[in-house]
Amino acid sequence: KLPEYVKVVEVGPRDGLQNEKEAIPAEVKIELVNRLSSAGFANIEAASFVSPKWVPQMATSAEVMAGITRREGTIYSALTPNMKGFEAALAAGAAEVVIFSSASEAFAQKNINCSIEESIARFQDVAAAAKANGIRLRGSISCSFGCPYQGAVEPAAVADVVRRMRDLGCDEIDIADTIGTGTARHVQQVMQTVASEFPLTQIAGHFHDTYGQALANIYASLETGVAIFHSSVAGLGGCPYAKGATGNVATEDVLYLLHGLGIRTGIDLDQVVDAGQFISAHLGRPAASRAGNALAAK
């Protein structure tokens, strides 16, 4: 039986835009977030307080968080790899912070410059500070279905990081397919494995669509009981530390699937389509969303 309600977390302003080469003005990012807020998302990943040397595009995060019009009922999240990031997120008024590690040792080194073990140790302070300030804590696990550097990743390795993030006090944990190589049965196997460590109702599927498998993987996850998914408007994105990785699954496509299944999301698809056309026009390329472009052409 499929869930009646699914929480779709819009990650376009962060995951989608972080890899863009040209600096996008803060006003454009603010307009994008505002349009997404109006569409009704319960959660928008709007910022990332990481080193600007590593990810220059996110250097405007404080400005973006200060400039957006906050909608009641929407949680605005920010990535925080360490205490420096947490302090910035707190000052910016983020209601949820995201600590991020990996199920693959090789990827953790490339992405956050430390081992998985070290990352968890580093997150202890962030987790404690989040709790002390009443801020929601989310954990994200990259390379849960494969790694660009080490190849195969065992479901047990994912479950191990899920357990550690649970012990840090995470309210929600993202199982991320960074390079999009996962397929439906594999995804179900990983979701069922991690369910022994953390409630599936607090697990999110974060699928990049590099191999065109994301929608199938979402459907497969729905069948196992997962009811939170991440997506990027217009299919924006790619990870700076996963060469060749393309964007997250497009939000418009995910909403089209979910609404077609009779699943409630609380999100207005037409407004998301408009937001997707807006940011794509700014970037000077067509939206990477089949449903988005089809609906926009109507």
Catalytic residues: 239
Q: Does 96 interact with Mg ion (rule: CB under 5 A)?
A: no
Alpha carbon distance 60, 279 (integer Å): 17
- The distance of closest approach from Cβ of residue 103 to ligand HMG in the complex, given in angstroms and rounded to an integer, is 10
Q: Which is nearer to ligand HMG, 240 or 286 (CB)?
A: 240
Q: How far apart are the first and last CA of the chain?
A: 33
* 112 interface partner picked from Mg ion, ligand HMG, none, CB below 5 to 8 A per type: ligand HMG
Alpha carbon distance 147, 178 (integer Å): 8
Q: Which is nearer to ligand HMG, 101 or 293 (CB)?
A: 101
Q: Which is nearer to ligand HMG, 57 or 277 (CB)?
A: 57
Q: Interface with ligand HMG by CB under 6 A: which residues?
A: 15, 18, 48-51, 54-55, 79, 81-82, 84-85, 100, 111-113, 140, 142, 176, 178, 206, 208, 239-241
Q: Which is nearer to ligand HMG, 19 or 37 (CB)?
A: 19
Helix axes 116-132, 155-167, angle to 10 degrees: 30
Alpha carbon distance 11, 6 (integer Å): 15
Contacts 24+ apart (CB under 8 A), 254-259: 254/8, 254/215, 254/218, 254/229, 255/8, 255/291, 256/291, 257/215, 257/218, 257/219, 258/6, 258/8
User: What DSSP letter does each residue of 45-63 carry, written as one string?
Assistant: EEEE-S-TTT-GGGGGHHH
* 145 interface partner picked from Mg ion, ligand HMG, none, CB below 5 to 8 A per type: none
* 264 interface partner picked from Mg ion, ligand HMG, none, CB below 5 to 8 A per type: none
- The distance of closest approach from Cβ of residue 298 to ligand HMG in the complex, given in angstroms and rounded to an integer, is 32
Residues from 7 through 66 that contact Mg ion (CB under 5 A): 15
* 113 interface partner picked from Mg ion, ligand HMG, none, CB below 5 to 8 A per type: ligand HMG
